[in-house]
Amino acid sequence: MSSSSTNRSVLIFGGAGFIGSNWADHLLSKTDANVHILDNLSRAKVENNIRWLRSRRGAASRLKITVADIRDARSVAKAVNGASEIYHFAAQVAVTTSLEDPRTDFEVNAGGTLNILEAARQSGNRPFVLFTSTNKVYGKLGAEQDGPSELRCTSESQPLDFYSPYGCSKGTADQYVHDYGRIFGIPTVVFRMSCIAGPRQFGNEDQGWVAHFVYSALQGRTISIYGDGHQVRDVLAVRDLVRAFAAARENHKTTGGQVYNIGGGAANTISLLELVKTLERALRVPVRIRFRPARPGDQPIYVTDFGKFREHTRWEPERSVQQTVHDIRQWYEENQALFVPTPFRVPSGKLPTEIVREIAS
């Protein structure tokens, strides 16, 4: 256990989710940091991540859970008070949802982020703040390249182009986080992330597509592909992302105030159709797909240039796409009970919110 984490008070907004729970587990198992999670538990099945974290070594004395929403400025300010590090993962995560309800998308992603930044500023503690942004801030981008050998990686110098309400709300938050670092001297770090995948990801067709493809193939369900299936992404294993969080914090004198593109890079690219073929080989079963019209704002090609972050921290990905797919499959096979549809029944005399609070306490 690292001695360098002594007196660390870590606050994770969205800590019950896929990325947040993996980061919280790292902190509980690899450091002696006190970990405080604030999450509204609105994402399907994340209560299982809370139960899992509660069972981890050190959780009894070092893990605190608060059920609240980042749109509640008072709850945010109370949580931020005394935190030495803040990791902001809470978000509305789907482009499709942002098209259906742009206002809520903005209130969560932009308004919630401003609540966190203001709480950090007013605390007077100048906590380290890391925010997970998205490659969607670069807009639709182009499809000028013809094959993986010619893929152009996107660096931080790529002009911003907020294409879709989701891109606008995350881009607004992205810029606020960056500017609070410059104007108020808070050591902020922005990660503009590509496709993150790995265990504990309850993926669906709107978000977490690699996990969604794996689960659908294992369950014999038809996968909908929007567009021609030749869209290319670079995939980063969540365990490598956790290493990037640790590297950013350990090198905070360099990373503070910076924006980084984070992803699997050119060595970890795959198209939707290539992933289908990979799953067919791995599972030895045909994977059923159906094609649907392309969705607005979808990037035909996105590959991360993480050279700036590598230069500042010496970090680079370690796990391949194939290893990441194997990790997801193994976790699914060990946790199939979490994927069995069960009707939700509210115990007599209790509201759903009361049950949620029982899970967290």
Cα 194 off chain centre by? 9
Which one is catalytic: 166, 180, 215, 332?
A: 166
Give the integer Cα–Cα distance in Å for 226 and 45: 25
Q: Is 83 exposed, middle or buried (0-12, 13-18, 19+ CB in 10 A)?
A: buried
Tokens of 278: 């990979």
* Contact assessment for residue 179 and residue 114, using Cβ atoms and an 8 Å cutoff: no
For residue 162, report the phi and psi dihedrals to the nearest 5 degrees: -75, 90
The SS3 call for residue 186 is coil
332 assigned to active site: no
- On the CB side of 161, CA atoms within 13 Å amount to 11
Give the integer Cα–Cα distance in Å for 169 and 104: 10
Cα 336 off chain centre by? 22
Instruction: Report the catalytic residues.
Output: 166
